[in-house]
């Protein structure tokens, strides 16, 4: 070993050792990252269990008129003509809450949905005309109200079609469940409009969507949930979001979708299946949780290597400029403490608020390393200075984690600032003389 050290400058040798330690510490950090991913998967399983028992993401308010048509010529082909309403009005009150499975909670809701509108006979006038070889089964015509899941329906009230109280029956179309009611023949054959209304109570979780399938659809949603995320196009008109919740309103026209007011069977037009057409037309809201502890833990772990590098680089410059030697094993001990911080943060944040968990973890880490350096350096002031610097570093990390939109910018500024400080403080250092001093000390 002494022979080897003759050919390697001490600074280079120490730098290689520190670099190797940083690479070694990437192993426990990777394990913590894998653990975060594992916990995310367990939370997803908990959300699936809640969806299976309470109700999953819901899409509702898809109203259609279904009229069976039989072509009696040839082989007697039977099809169904589907017609969309002229107007559709949807008013929704959403009561949010949570369901918990183990450590994991999932946003759920009860949505009280009131749907009303009207069909006009002009949209199916081609069926009113008598045509040889075609039979329209007006007695079998029904009004469909589509939902994602039949089991999500908690109540159906005030179901009225063409001024008559309707009896709801289970039905479905294009992968959607829902309810249907018979439409009076007289309303279809003689009426200019066919009004309808229905009130439903839906249970679901995470997301509530709507099918604005009408010539003009107006949808309004009120909820006490404070963090909505709106999805679909078009976007809601001037949504209001505050501490009391949110109010969102969509106004969707026929020209906002890529298919017409009527079609036959399972394709709204050539090459466009009905399920894909409905998916493209839907709008809605996701009940978003901005304080996602696993997302913040994941982001924190991504900064782990950077913080270890900054800490080790600071110690390395400090020991070479101050003459206080720090052994490689002592670097390793400090590095393990830095890596353990992320495991402690993950464990505490599952039981406490993230801010509190971060404060406890960071305070424990700074106290541990400061106490350790007190013994290593034998100088309390130097150890306290190192602890203060470490506390500042983790305060900056907390600042980065708290920002969702500017975390990358803040991380880049942190790295640039640390590098600028190190370059400024060492700009007059003669590193070749530092190396000679260390070699002389080794020779003695």
Residue pLDDT, tens place only, 300-348: 888 888 888 888 877 777 676 656 667 778 888 888 888 889 999 988 9
Reduced to 3 states (helix: H, G, I; strand: E, B; else coil), residue 128 is helix
Q: How confident is the model at residue 428 (pLDDT cuts 50, 70, 90)?
A: low
pTM: 0.72
Looking at residue 317, its pLDDT comes to 72
Over the stretch 393-409, which tens digit does the pLDDT of each residue have? 888 888 877 776 666 67
The CA distance from 205 to 55, in Å, is 6
Q: Where are the domains of the chain?
A: 2-42+293-443, 56-287
User: Which tokens hold the place of 168?
Assistant: 């709801």
105 vs 201, which has greater pLDDT? 201
**How many other CB atoms are there within 10 angstroms of residue 194's CB atom?**
24
When pLDDT is averaged across residues 383-389 and rounded to a whole number, the result is 82
Residue 27 near residue 35 (C-beta atoms within 8 A) = no
* 230 phi/psi in degrees, rounded to 5: -85, 140
CA 363/CA 348 separation, integer angstroms: 13
Q: For the chain, first and last CA: distance in Å?
A: 17
| Helix or strand run (H / E) with residue 304 | helix 304-322
- Confidence class of residue 190 from pLDDT cuts 50, 70 and 90? confident
Total residues belonging to the chain? 444
pLDDT for 382 beyond 80 = no
The listed CATH number (3.40.50, 2.40.128, 2.60.40, 2.60.120) that belongs to domain 56-287:
2.60.40
Tens of pLDDT, residue by residue over 92-136, are 999 998 888 877 888 899 999 999 999 999 888 888 888 877 888
Where is average pLDDT lowest: 45-49, 277-281, 287-291, 434-438?
Answer: 434-438
The yes-or-no verdict on residue 175 having pLDDT over 60 is yes
pLDDT for the residue 443: 47
Q: CA-to-CA distance for 303 and 350, rounded, in angstroms?
A: 20
């Amino acid at each position: 070993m002494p022979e080897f050290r003759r050919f390697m400058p001490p600074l280079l040798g120490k730098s290689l050792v520190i670099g190797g330690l940083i690479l070694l510490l990437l192993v426990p950090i990777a394990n913590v990252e894998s653990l975060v991913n594992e916990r995310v998967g367990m939370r997803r399983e908990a959300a699936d269990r809640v969806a299976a028992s309470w109700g999953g993401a819901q899409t509702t308010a898809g109203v259609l008129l279904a009229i069976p048509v039989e072509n009696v010529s040839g082989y007697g082909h039977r099809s169904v003509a589907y017609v969309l309403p002229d107007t559709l009005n949807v008013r929704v009150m959403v009561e949010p809450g949570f369901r918990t499975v183990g450590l994991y909670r999932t946003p759920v809701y009860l949505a009280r949905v009131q749907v009303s509108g009207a069909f006009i006979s002009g949209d199916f006038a081609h069926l009113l005309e008598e045509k040889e070889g075609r039979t329209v089964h007006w007695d079998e015509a029904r009004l469909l109200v589509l939902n994602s899941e039949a089991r999500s329906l908690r109540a159906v009230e005030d179901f009225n079609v063409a001024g008559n109280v309707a009896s709801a029956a289970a039905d479905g179309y294009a992968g959607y469940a829902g309810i249907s009611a018979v439409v009076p023949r007289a309303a279809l054959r003689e009426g200019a409009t066919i009004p309808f209304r229905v009130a439903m109570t839906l249970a679901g979780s995470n997301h509530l969507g709507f099918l604005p399938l009408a010539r003009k659809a107006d949808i309004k949603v009120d909820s006490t949930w404070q963090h909505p995320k709106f999805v679909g196009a078009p976007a809601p008109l001037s949504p209001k979001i505050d501490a009391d919740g949110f109010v969102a309103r969509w106004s969707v026209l026929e020209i906002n979708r890529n298919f017409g007011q009527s079609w036959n069977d399972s394709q709204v037009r050539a090459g466009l299946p009905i399920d894909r057409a409905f998916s493209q037309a839907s709008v809605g809201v996701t009940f978003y949780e901005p304080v996602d502890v696993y997302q913040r833990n994941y982001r924190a772990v991504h900064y782990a290597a950077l913080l270890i590098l900054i800490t080790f680089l600071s110690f390395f410059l400090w020991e070479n400029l101050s003459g206080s030697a720090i052994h490689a094993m002592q670097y390793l001990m400090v590095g393990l403490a830095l890596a353990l911080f992320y495991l402690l943060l993950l464990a505490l944040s599952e039981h406490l608020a993230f801010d509190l968990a971060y404060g406890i973890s960071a305070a424990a880490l700074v106290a541990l390393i400061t106490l350790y350096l007190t013994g290593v350096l034998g100088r309390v002031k130097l150890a306290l200075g190192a602890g203060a610097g470490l506390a500042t570093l983790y305060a900056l990390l907390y600042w980065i984690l708290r920002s969702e939109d500017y975390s990358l910018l803040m991380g880049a500024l942190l790295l640039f600032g640390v590098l600028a400080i190190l370059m400024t403080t060492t700009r007059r250092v003669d590193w070749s003389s530092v190396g000679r001093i260390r070699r002389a000390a080794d020779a003695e």
